[in-house]
Amino acid sequence: MKFTDTYVNPKEFFSLGIQETSGRFYVSFPVSNRLTDYEEYYAIDQQTFECFQNDVDAAVEFVNRCRRHELDELLIQKPGWNRGTAI
């Protein structure tokens, strides 16, 4: 899968983008486990994608819910047994 970030928020450590193969929109943020650092990608619809580009507070609220694992059903790639913690 190829993920292309279209918006990066370095202060809040998240990105918005498009998964090139499927055309799906996503929110991503870095996570870390004892072996490596990686990104978790959460699917969002186009309307949410456009909203988050203009409303950073709404995006941060969503990202924080993802970090607390409240929206795991939206994960594009399911984590394995050694799931990381948000950075």
27-53 pLDDT, tens digit each: 999 999 989 999 999 999 999 999 999
In degrees rounded to 5, what are phi and psi of residue 31? -135, 165
Say if residue 64's pLDDT is above 90. Answer: yes
Average pLDDT of the segment spanning 15-20: 97
Measured CA to CA, the distance from residue 68 to residue 18 in angstroms comes to 23
Look at the alpha carbons of 1, 81, 37, 11 in this order and tell me if their dihedral is positive or negative: positive
Other beta carbons less than 10 A from residue 49's beta carbon: 19
Domain ranges of the chain: 3-86
Report yes or no: 37 and 30 within 8 Å, Cβ to Cβ.
Answer: yes
